Amino acid sequence: MKTRYKLMAATAGIIVLLFMSCSTIGRHLPISSDEVVIGTIQVTFVARNTWLSKNETINTQAYIKLLEAALQKFPGDIDIREIIWVTGRKIGQLDTEVSATAKVIGAN
């Protein structure tokens, strides 16, 4: 289990280093003490940003993309917690590349 946490920390560190010139780093959905971590997942996607609520928009998009990827790797009754995302390069006027990582929780 400690190896998984080390892997998660290393992955988050790599993401931060890769996107050192990023405009935003976000955290979303903290884990509670009664939830069982069964793995981690990481995705990169293009997010459509709006000026009204950039962080909430990216939080939602990151959750959906991470859950889709996690369901392919961890079938069953799972969810995503401790989402960490980092924005990267701008793509056009409204789009931004985002790298996100999270813990997968579920029945062990």
Using a 10 angstrom Cβ sphere, with 0-12 exposed, 13-18 middle and 19 or more buried, the burial of residue 86 is: buried
Domain limits, the chain: 2-106
Which residue did the predictor score with more confidence, 88 or 54? 88
Whether pLDDT at 71 is above 90: yes
Q: Is 43 left (phi over 0), alpha (psi -120 to 50) or beta?
A: beta
Whether pLDDT at 3 is above 80: no
Looking at residue 74, its pLDDT comes to 92
CA distance 58 to 71: 20
Beta pairing class for 37-48 and 95-106: antiparallel
| pLDDT number for residue 5 | 63
